[in-house]
Structure 1
Amino acid sequence: MTPASTTVPINSRTRMPVDERRRQIAHKAAELVARYGSYGVSMQTVADAVGLTLPGLNHHVRGRDELLTLIIETFYDDFTDDATMAAQLRQSGARDADGLLSLPATLARMVDSNTTRPELVGLFIRLAVEAHDPSHPAHRYYADRHQRLLSVMRALPWRLPPRFQAPAAFDDLLRTAFCAMDGTEVQALTDPDETMADLWARVERTLFGGPEWAEAR
């Protein structure tokens, strides 16, 4: 059942700059989807929530596919292309004198960022599960995002123990780390006794705590 419309201030119907209006749409839609799921929120509900007519909403967001992508790109992903993604990873990777990046530091920075936005993490997970269906409007976005992230990370210069320097071994390590990160996010949202940071500390000790990582962290 479609949720009831959300009350908005009367001045929300005033004209806004396009970028500001799209951010308002993304913000309100994120709240609604996080609560009801993407299939439980209609475009009309979002239009009502931001004080627009349906044609007015469609002027800014042309359908559910664009709406869902807008939510994630606005509040979860802050990169728009592979070059931007690579630059952000370099900034968080604790480069050494040779320009090599720390994988543990990079992953920890990702987790730190997500601990500050649990509601958005919940939305991302909910949409990821729904988007497993090839007919879901965000299916292609999620499939492409995962492959893009792995591809960019494979291409960066990492500080690694010898056994992970082979491409196949590094690929296994990356995929294992992201499986652990996904599990950390889900468990943190369902277990009130440990935070995401607490859970990731366990992962770090297990994946990166051995002697071989002493010079590679």
Structure 2
Amino acid sequence: MRTRRGPYAKSAERRQQIVEQAYRAFATRGYHGSSLREIAAASGISLSNLQHHFATKEELLVTVLTRRDEQGHGAVSGRQGLPFREHVLAQAAANEGVPGLIALYSILSAEAVTQEHPGHAYFAERYEALREEYEAEFSTLRAQGRLRPGVEPALAATTVIALWEGVQLQWLYAPDRVDAGAALRAYLDLVIVPQADAL
């Protein structure tokens, strides 16, 4: 039994090592600026060995993006069920605590604007899902009397996403001077009525 599990465990460990090195490469040089050969060298293996685990760079990118999502969701595990405002602020703080997560997202989302980029569909679907999720949250707040007059849920959803990504990008340049959580809190406080005031 052990002899059968040994190679599997070693293979899984090798895949994880490759994904970690690809994560670092994509977060610093982007998808187009990174090569499988460089990632293989950083992983301490040959290119053919890497391609045994990931046949193409596109396949490796998808795995890295999946890993990024797992890290992002894992960073706020145990905080499910938080009100929308608090969840956004908790996620923003958690993102800053995961090394490379914001850089990876910022670089790849900018690169993936072109339709031929292998990450294009991932980001297009992600933005659509976020807009729908946040619009639903703002619509719920409006139904509860907690959205300030004149605020449209769809526009507020798009604005939160734009603000969040823009301020995170600035944070990459000046982490000691830019506070993404503070910027998001200020905007949300402009459009959301405190619960006590809505009663």
Structure 1 residues 164 and 65: CA distance shift in structure 2, 3 A: farther
Does residue 37 (structure 1) correspond to residue 30 (structure 2)? The answer is yes
2:180 is aligned to 199
1:150 is aligned to 131
Is the helix fraction higher in 1 or 2? 2
Structure 1 residues 59 and 151: CA distance shift in structure 2, 3 A: farther
Structure 1 length as normaliser, TM-score?
Answer: 0.70
Q: CA deviation at 1:55?
A: 2.6
Structure 2 length as normaliser, TM-score?
Answer: 0.76
2:163 equivalent among 180, 189, 194:
180
Q: Which secondary structure does the structure 2 equivalent of 1:136 belong to? A: coil
Q: CA deviation at 1:118?
A: 4.7
1:129 equivalent among 97, 104, 110:
110
**1:94 touches 1:105 (CA, 8 Å); kept in 2?**
no
1:170 equivalent among 145, 149, 153:
153
Q: CA deviation at 1:158?
A: 7.5
- 30-39 or 144-153, which deviates more: 144-153
Runs of 4+ off more than 3 Å: 14-18, 88-95, 149-159
1:103 equivalent among 75, 84, 91:
84
One-letter amino acid of the counterpart of residue 58, structure 1: Q
2:4 is aligned to none
Q: CA deviation at 1:142?
A: 1.2
Structure 1 residues 185 and 33: CA distance shift in structure 2, 3 A: same
**2:22 touches 2:64 (CA, 8 Å); kept in 1?**
yes
2:79 is aligned to 92
Does residue 66 (structure 1) correspond to residue 54 (structure 2)? The answer is no
Counterpart CA distance in 1 for 2:29 and 2:138 is 42
Counterpart CA distance in 2 for 1:143 and 1:42 is 24
1:50 is aligned to 43
